[in-house]
Structure 1
Amino acid sequence: MVVAGHEAPDFELPQDHCLKFLSLDHPLPSQEEGEYPAAVKDKMIKLAAAWDCAKSAWNPQHVMKLDWDDLISSRLVEWLVSVKDEAGYLLKHGWIWRSQIPFLVQRTEYFDRVCGSCLIIRSDLADQTGPFLTHVEGTKLSPEEHRFAADDHYSLVPGSEIGSLLLNDSHQRYTAQFDYLGQRLATVPFNAAVCRIGHGNNAGRPFGTETTRMLLGRLRRTRLITPRLRKEFMLA
């Protein structure tokens, strides 16, 4: 695992040859076009550096980008080793954990729609390219292309710039990106990650207005955090 950041954590890192902390000092991207696009650009710079570091240090078979505040299941790596070698795996099933309510967690079957920490890519495909960079990464789209992106969250967007399969943040369009490359994107069959929200440092955009129906659905999917879940995801 490679952790990339501007500042080292304020705690002692484990001494493990499989863990590297990469300290970066690039200038933070301009917020002229908004805070969120700047955060995405910064994330892509860090991700590119981390991926280069991983390739030079090891011979990785897969790569997964993970936001600093999200968590993955302790079962995920063992499962990945045991399954057929697909081009990639999408995490559709997972949990949403609101920091304000630390003893409850919400199950979701649409994890990839709400969280960027949802994709595992086979390493030989990570650097393949296509029209994957949208307004999310700062590409300037025409009004018609913006409308297309707003109306269709899952297809490739006309006017997108060329980028790699790994270095983009359009996580709702990952299936279309794999289709473009002629590859199949499989699904991880269990709740494999936790998306942490509401802690005050989320860079992502809010989920939007919640209707009564959405609230009732969220309550129906809410569970108490069990000791097993706490252990599986190291929930503090």
Structure 2
Amino acid sequence: MVVAGHEPPDFDVGFDSRFCFLSVHHAIPPHEDFVVSRRLDKLAKIAAAWKHAKSRWNPYYVMKLDADDLISSRLVQWLEERGGEPGYLIKHGWVWPSGSRYLVQYTEYLDRVCASCLIMRSDLADQQGPFLTGVEGVRLDQVSLSFAASDHYSLVPGSGMTTLLLNDSHQRYAAQFAYLGHKLGSVPFKAVVYRTRNPESSSAALETGRPTLRMILGTIRRMKFIPKTLRREFALG
């Protein structure tokens, strides 16, 4: 695991030889949209981490993970035993309001809300395609903007070129794999905890607007108490 950041974490980074903290020193990419600027910063860190990982190890799969999200302790073993597809989409997961001690929400649509939802084979990570959209700050014409607003899953006409790894358009991952001639598999269990209401997260800026009554009722229906097994699996505090 490679963690890239401007500031080191507040624990001993040498506790495990499989863990590496990579200090980066680039300036935050300027952009008129603060959220886009944070996304570009995240992608720059992912690029640095991926370059370091390739120089140090020979990974078969790669997964990008936002710093405040959590992955299941079962995931790596499952990949070792069952893996073989070009990539896997994680659709099933948990939504955990930051600081909540007792409640967590399950979701079957993790890939719609959380960028930590894709595992890809390493030989595909650097393959390129038209994967950059307005999410990453690309200026699209009005036709492309209208298309992106109405279709959240297909490739957007007029998109910029980048690699499969270095984009943040997570709802379009299946289309990106199809463009490269591959089909995504899926992880059959809830493998990621998406943490919300974290003031230090760039996604916090997107958590605006007043939820509808239907959304509130749906959230209540999917809520459950956090069992001990889930706390152990994801090291939930």
* TM-score, normalised with respect to structure 2: 0.96
Helix, strand or coil at the partner of 2:202: coil
Please say if 1:24 is aligned against 2:51: no
CA distance in 2, matches of 1:64, 1:134: 21
8 Å Cα contact 2:14/2:20 also seen in 1: no
CA distance in 2, matches of 1:41, 1:102: 32
Residue matched to 2:212: 211
Residue matched to 2:156: 157
RMSD, aligned CA: 1.1
Helix, strand or coil at the partner of 1:36: helix
Give unmatched runs, 5+ long, in structure 2: none
Residue matched to 1:196: 195
Percent identical among aligned pairs is 57
Residue matched to 1:136: 135
Deviation at 1:9, TM superposition (A): 1.1
CA distance in 1, matches of 2:26, 2:131: 24
Residue matched to 1:68: 67
One-letter code of the match for 1:213?
R
CA distance in 2, matches of 1:84, 1:63: 12
Helix, strand or coil at the partner of 1:178: helix
Deviation at 1:170, TM superposition (A): 0.1
One-letter code of the match for 1:8?
P
> 1:27-106 alignment to 2 at 5 Å?
27-31=27-31, 33-106=32-105
Deviation at 1:138, TM superposition (A): 1.4
CA distance in 1, matches of 2:52, 2:46: 10
Runs of 4+ in 1 over 6 A off after TM superposition: none
CA gap of 1:84–1:71, structure 2 versus 1, over 3 A, is closer
CA distance in 1, matches of 2:83, 2:119: 13
Deviation at 1:126, TM superposition (A): 0.6
Please say if 1:10 is aligned against 2:5: no
The count of residues paired between Structure 1 and Structure 2 equals 235
* TM-score, normalised with respect to structure 1: 0.97
8 Å Cα contact 2:129/2:176 also seen in 1: yes
CA distance in 2, matches of 1:56, 1:100: 37
Residue matched to 2:221: 220
CA distance in 2, matches of 1:3, 1:84: 24
Deviation at 1:13, TM superposition (A): 2.2
Deviation at 1:15, TM superposition (A): 2.2
Please say if 1:230 is aligned against 2:231: yes
CA distance in 2, matches of 1:100, 1:11: 20
Deviation at 1:10, TM superposition (A): 2.0
One-letter code of the match for 2:235?
M
8 Å Cα contact 1:131/1:163 also seen in 2: yes
